[in-house]
Amino acid sequence: MDSSSTMALRSSSSSFSSASAFSVSHCPNPKPGYVSVPFNFNLRNPQSSFMFFKSLKCIQSSTPDSNPMKSIHPKNASSPFACSAVTFSPSQTADLVSSKLHRLVSEFQSISEPVDRVKRLLHYATLLPPLDESARNDSNRVMGCTAQVWLQAQLDQYGKMRFAADSDSEITRGFCSCLVWVLDGAAPEEVLKVKTEDLAYLNVGVPARERSRVNTWHNVLVSMQKRTKALVAEREGKKPPFEPFPSLVVTADGIEAKGSYAEAQAKYLLPDEFKVKELVDVLKAKNIGVVAHFYMDPEVQGILTAAQKQWPHIYISDSLVMADAALKMAKAGCKFITVLGVDFMSENVRAILDQAGFVDVGVFRMSNERIGCSLADAAASPSYMNYLEAASMSPPSLHVIYINTSLDTKAYAHELVPTITCTSSNVVQTILQAFAQVPDLNIWYGPDSYMGANIKELFQQMSKMTDEEITEIHPGHSRETIRSLLPQLHYYQDGTCIVHHLFGHEVVEKINEMYCDAFLTAHLEVPGEMFSLAMEAKRRGMGVVGSTQNILDFINQRVQEALDRNVDDHLQFVLGTESGMVTAIVAAVRDLLGSRISPSGLAKIKVEIVFPVSSDSMTRTSSQSSVKLGDVILPVIPGVAGGEGCSIHGGCASCPYMKMNSLSSLLEVCYQLPDEKNVLIAYEAQRFKLKTPNGKSVADVGCEPILHMRHFQATKQLPEKLVYQIRHANGNGSSMSLS
C-alpha cells in the first residue's frame, strides 16, 4: 500500500476529530451543488461500475488499471481506498457506495491466502482513528458483537452521513474501518440501500470458529442504518413513527417495568411469600406434582417458580416435556398430577402415564370447562381429515403432526396415514431424516399453516447453500436432495395459533423500524413476515427461530456470554412468542446474574425483554374502562377471544386459553384431593374409551406417533415399524392395520 493510499484511507476513516467534532468532507472545497445519484449495481456482474473511477476529481491513489478485475497482490498493490466524499458534476453521477463496496470485495477476493486476507484486515484496523474515551459509552454500543463496538453517526450540513467507529478487538476494528470507508460521506438513501447479504461476498479469511466476528459486518451495518433513519427523521422534524414496546429490564439489583403491559407482567415476578407457602404446604401434604406450560398466567408462574425451590415436583416447560416430567413425578411417588395447560396437554399426560403403567395416578385439569386451543381445533376439523384422505392416496406418505394436537386427532390421523409427531424444535430434523430414509416419500405436515410455510421457506434457503453447509445441518443431504424433496413436502393451509397469528404486519414493521439492532426471538409458528425478520437476525447471530425452549436457551446463552466478557452491557431481546414466557426468562436471567460473586468492579449487565404488543391492543371502551386480572385492575379490556393485550392490529402475546389456569383453580383442586366425593369429575383428565374406525383404542393408537418421535429423538432414525407402515400403506384412502 503506497503512502497516498494510506493517506486516503486515514482521511476517509477520520469522520470525527473528537467525540463531538465532525469533519464535513475529505475533499477540498466541496461544492454543495454537485450531487451523487445511484445507478444499478450488481455485485455478481460489477465490471461496468468501475469505468466512472477514471473521471473522479479526488482520487489520491494511483489511477485504476485498465482491467479493473486484475488481481491485487497484498504486498505491492495500490489500495482501492480513495477519498470518501467525492463530488461529481451532474454528468458524472454514479453510485459511489456500491462501487466502493465492490472494490473492497474485489480486493479481499483477489488475495488467495486466508491468512493474508486477515493480515490486510488487521492493517486496516491500524488506520481507523480511535474514538475519544468519552464516546466509548453505552449509548454508542453496537449490540450483538463478540467484542465491544462503538459507533457514532451524524448528518453533516450537506445532508451526508458521517460515521466513526471503534472496537476493543483488532479484527473488529478492521471490519469497522472498511464499513466506515464505504459509508462515511454517503447520502442517507445510499446507506439504507446496502443489504447485509451484500457483505456476504467479503471473504476475509476468518476461521469458521470465529464466524461470530464476521457478524460484526452485519450488526454494525444495521446499526448504521437505524441511526441514519433516526437522524433523517430528526432533521425533517418528524416524530418517531412508533412508541416503544413495553419491556422489562432485569439487572442484578432488580427489575424495572416500562409501560403498563410490562407492569402487569412484572407484578407477579416477585410473588407473595404467603401464597407460595400455602401452595407448597398442600402439595407436600398430598404428594401432588405440578406440570405447567411456559405460557401460564404470570401470577401462577411466579408462584410456581418460587415454590420449585421448596418442592421438587413442580416443572414448567413446553408441551412435550410436560408429559416426561409427569412420568418422572409418578415414578418418584406422586399420587396426583395437576396439569396447567390446554386440554390436549392433560390428555397427553394421562395417556403417557397409562402407557407406563401408572393408571392409579390421578391427572387433573384446572377448569370444569373445556380449555381449548385454536391449533388443536383446526386439526380436529373435517377439513383436516380431508387433507389426510388426499395424503393417503399418494403413497409412500408420512404425516408429520405437531405435538400440539389432541390424542384422538393423532389416532384418527395415524389410521389414515402413517404418522409421527414433532415439536417446533425437531420438526426440521424429522422431515430431513424421513426423506433420507425414504427418498421417494411424500410428507404431509400439519396443522400449523405458518410453521408449514416457514419450514418450506427454510428448505428453499437450504437449496441455495453449498453441499458442505447442508451436510452440517444433516449428513444425509446435499443441495440435490434438498431440491428434490421440495415438491414432495406439503402442509395444511388452514390452521393457526391465535397468539402467533397476531404477530402480523404492523408489529413486524415496528420491530424493523425500532428494534432492528436488538436480539430477535421468534417461535416457528409466527407468520412469514416475522419469520423472515427473525431468520435474517439469526443469520447474523442476532436471533433464534424455534421452540419456546430454544428461545429460552438462546437468551441464557447470550447473557452468559456477556457475563464471561465482564464488560458493561445492555442486551435487548424482542420476545416473539407468548408473553407468559417472560416468567421463565426472568427467573433464568436473575439466576445467571445472581450466580456471580459480587465484588466491586464487576461489569453491570442489563437484560431487557421487549413485548411486541400493539399499542392499539390496549383498548378502552365507554362501558368497561378496566379489567381485573388476578388482584390487579388494569385500565384495559381483553382483546381477541379474551386475551389481554390482544388485538387484530397484531402482537396478541397472550393466550386466552392458557389464562384459564388460575392460581385459585390450582389451590381448589389440590384442597379437594383425594376426590372421595367426586366433586372434581369435571376437572379430571378422562381416559379415552373411544375406538378408532379400525376398532382399536384411541389411546393406544394416538400414543404411537408420540412413541415414534421418542425413538427418533433417541436414535436420530425413524423406527423400522414406521418405515414399514409407510412402505406398506394401501394407498386407497385407508392405511394398513397398525397393530
For residue 538, which amino acid is it?
K
Q: Name the 3-class secondary structure at 400.
A: strand
Length of the chain equals 739
Give the residues across from 314 on adjacent strands. 290
Of 145, 178, 334, 646, which is the active-site residue? 145
- C-alpha 198/C-alpha 85 separation (Å) is 21
Q: Is 145 among the catalytic positions?
A: yes
DSSP state, residue 19:
S
Neighbours of 594 (CB within 10 A): 9
Residue closest to 193 by CA, chosen among 14, 42, 88, 87: 42
Contact 445, 400 (CB under 8 A): yes
Q: Name the 3-class secondary structure at 25.
A: coil
Encode burial over 678-690: b for 16+ CB neighbours within 10 A, e otherwise: eebeebbbeebee
- C-alpha 95/C-alpha 36 separation (Å) is 7
CA atoms in the 13 A half-sphere facing the CB of 596 = 22
Give me the residue label for grid cell 394416538. 702
Q: What angle do CA 673, 674, 679 make, to 5 degrees?
A: 70
Question: Who's near 584: CB < 8 A, 6+ residues apart?
Answer: 294, 301, 305, 316, 552
Contact 132, 18 (CB under 8 A): yes
Contact 109, 44 (CB under 8 A): no
Name the phi and psi angles at 247, rounded to 5. Answer: -155, 160
Task: Extract the C-alpha cell encoding 495.
Answer: 390452521
- Report, as residue numbers or ranges, the catalytic residues: 145
